[in-house]
Amino acid sequence: MLVCMRRPIYVVDAFAENIFSGNPAAVCPLEEWLPDDVMQKLAAENNLAETAFIVNESGQYRIRWFTPGAEVALCGHATLASAHIFFSELGHKGLDIAFNSLSGVLQVYKKDNGFYTLDFPLDKPVPFEGEATALLQALGVNSHTVYQTAFDYMVVLPMQKEVEDACPDFKALAKTGGRGVIITAPGNEVDFVSRFFAPQVGIDEDPVTGSAHTALTPYWAERLGKTYLSARQLSKRGGYLECELKNSRVLITGNAVTYMRGEYVTG
């Protein structure tokens, strides 16, 4: 006889000033890990940029993130969403929570204004020394400075309008390797703007990408000569982030709103 298990699931709009903005993530607290292939199927079924699974391992939370196509080593918005659920729905006490992950220990702090601050490892981009012609052609932009981060390529454009107008060929972009591609430029009303494309892992365009800002922040901090920066990701949904460079860490602050509470069923 097939035994079906019902488990809780939440959907949260992260880095969102209001519902229906920011980046939606599914949050799935577990008592024990599901098989990897089941978690991957659930992420594909959810069809959101990220689904986070969290298990309490001997008093310490461990978090894993899955896109519809692959497990990833770091995700900002789904970590923010997970912290929001633990604080607002699951009765977590105190003003901070820590998640063990493939990228080390990630701390999240709840602020007095209800916002959350992610404490993530810095990912300083370095000049890309390979051949970037195919990448730039796939993005549909002219030759510009290209960098490489731990996970992604980063292309710096001269002005916000070029970021807004970019129209990538996603099939071609999916062949360029890495997790994804960041494009960025100085902002008109914030310090910098960006967009993030990741067809390599099943996401044509991510609405708001916290992990990309671990690379964007040190780049713009050095270029602008400041450690506190305001940022906006220019996707259709859009999202606002406040970033701080602090030694070898990047602090990323944003809001989160619960959109849905429900259950999913596994056999």
Per residue in 155-204, pLDDT tens?
A: 999 999 999 999 999 999 999 988 999 999 999 999 999 999 999 988 99
Coil, strand or helix at 46: helix
Whole-angstrom Cα distance, residue 95 to residue 111?
7
Whole-angstrom Cα distance, residue 56 to residue 105?
14
> Which candidate, 125, 181, 129, places its Cα nearest to that of 150?
125
Q: What pTM, to 2 d.p., does this model score?
A: 0.92
Whole-angstrom Cα distance, residue 9 to residue 19?
18
Question: What are the catalytic residues?
Answer: 50
Per residue in 79-99, pLDDT tens?
A: 999 999 999 999 999 999 999
Per residue in 198-212, pLDDT tens?
A: 999 889 999 999 999
Per-residue pLDDT at 1: 40
Per-residue pLDDT at 3: 58
Per residue in 96-123, pLDDT tens?
A: 999 999 999 999 999 988 899 999 999 9
Phi, psi of 46 (to 5 degrees): -65, -35
Whole-angstrom Cα distance, residue 216 to residue 83?
23
Instruction: Please give the structure tokens belonging to residue 129.
Output: 């020394």
